[in-house]
Amino acid sequence: MLLLFQQALDRSDRLLAVARTPSPIGEWIQADLSELTGVETVAKAIGGDRLDALLYMGGTWETHAFTSQYRFEDCTDADIDRVIAVNLVAPIRLVKALLPALRRSHNPKIVFMGALSGRDNFSGREVANSASKFGLRGVVHSLREELRSEQIGVTIINPGNVGTPEVLADLAANNLLGGEAIPLTDLLKIIDCILSLSRSTCIKEIDVPAMLGEGA
């Protein structure tokens, strides 16, 4: 995601990168969004500033997810709780906390990173991850209706495998299921397009499988 951060930095007056570990780009806000205190830390950092775009790129999954070693019965309760907390509960809390800052923008956007595993009839086996991504789509659709009168754009992008160096290495070693990956630069162009549109346009949901990957 460093390419995304660099691209955003080039176009921003202020870029906040929220993560548990240090970010080499932007203003690092150390926070664990699976905890309510992490959300409060982000809201305090923004303070009275305006927020033009909230990009929730975070996500996690069960141990051995998307590999042949995955077994639902082997998932720990802690694993399941963590996936739901990060992928579903945290985005809800974060949007609620940051709505005042978004309302101060002349063209506010909210973009969530979903997954093809949250789509109907996708063959993913990862129970907690699929549940969280299905739920995130429901959050986005409901938020869109709730915020429609204020023309705050809410979009979810559902990619398959994304060609980060780690994913490409795992695919090359046959350690990852799902087929080919989409180029990371293509995903960045989609995000850039969403952010560049006026608030008169509603982009609801975008599915992005690889042409030769699962879900196409």
pLDDT tens digits, residue range 176-215? Answer: 777 788 999 999 999 999 999 999 999 999 999 999 888 8
Domain containing 197: what range?
2-208
Residue 165 in domain: yes
Residue 214 in domain: no
pTM value is: 0.89
Residue 162 in domain: yes
Q: Would you say 162 and 114 are in contact if contact means Cβ atoms under 8 Å apart?
A: no
CATH number at residue 187: 3.40.50.720
Residue 216 in domain: no
Q: pLDDT tens, 110-166?
A: 999 999 999 988 888 889 999 999 999 999 999 999 999 999 999 999 998 888 888
CA distance 24 to 60: 21
Q: Would you say 116 and 93 are in contact if contact means Cβ atoms under 8 Å apart?
A: no
Residue 28 in domain: yes
Residue 53 in domain: yes
* Whether residue 24 has pLDDT greater than 70: yes
Sign of the C-alpha dihedral, residues 30, 160, 91, 125? Answer: negative
Q: What percent of the chain has pLDDT over 70?
A: 94
Considering its fold, how many domains does the chain have in total? 1
Residue 16 in domain: yes
Q: What is the mean pLDDT of residues 2-28?
A: 75
Angle at which helices 184-196 and 2-10 pack, to 10 degrees? Answer: 30
